[in-house]
Amino acid sequence: MLAVMGIVSALTALQRVGAVPLASLAASPREVADGRLWLLVSSGAIAADPLLWSLLSFYALAFLTLALCGPRVLWLAALIGQAFSTLLGYSLIGVARLLDPGAFHQLVSAPDYGLSAISAAWLGAIAAIGWRTRRQSIGRAAIVLGCVAIACLAWFVRGKGLDLLDSEHVFAFAIGVGVAVGRVLGEPLGLQRLLATGYPDGRVNQRRRVLRS
């Protein structure tokens, strides 16, 4: 984790001082359509403006995801959330341009980069784990309100309007939820216990032991 944080910080610094050109890291619908698929990943390794907010929120969500969800969810949500949410966002532009070739012309070649998609995926994973562990309606309502508050704060700090590419964040959040839920459902211990008892907490076997005694 510290290595990734160091890479993100170093690449961001190098890009800011001009040592690494933005065009070599940032994706765009045109670049991806031309086959430069590695940009789907590299575009998520440099921070966009506002720089301090992007880095601090990225680091905070990274530690929270690692602590609450584990390393596997951390890496899967980051990689899949970044790459596939970007592809889905670009697909919306592609479909729109099939219907109207002049649609979203300004977005086709615009540099698309930043840590926000990965952060959204991590937020989705954290929300999914929190939803599973908070059975009370108040706790789940707090999770929903927290996610909405973070989204509103991110939009406010960003300081500009939304466009179609911002749909990537919704996709990334959903992917993070899916990765976390899939990881929880795929836990061997939980699955074996469920098959053996019919309940995750083993209530059937406990009841049988009471009846036999």
Residue ranges in the chain whose pLDDT is less than 50: 188-213
Domain architecture of the chain: domains with CATH: 2-212 (1.20.1540.10)
Give the integer Cα–Cα distance in Å for 213 and 148: 52
**184 exposure class (CB count in 10 Å sphere: 0-12, 13-18, 19+):** middle
Summarised one tens digit per residue, pLDDT across range 27-81 is 999 999 999 999 999 999 999 998 999 999 999 999 999 999 999 999 999 999 9
**Distance between alpha carbon 195 and the CA centroid of its chain, in Å?**
31
Q: 72 is written with which tokens?
A: 């596997």
Beta-carbon neighbour count of residue 86 at 10 Å?
26
How much is the pLDDT for 190? 39
Contact between residue 55 and residue 47 where contact means Cβ atoms under 8 Å apart: yes
How much is the pLDDT for 138? 87
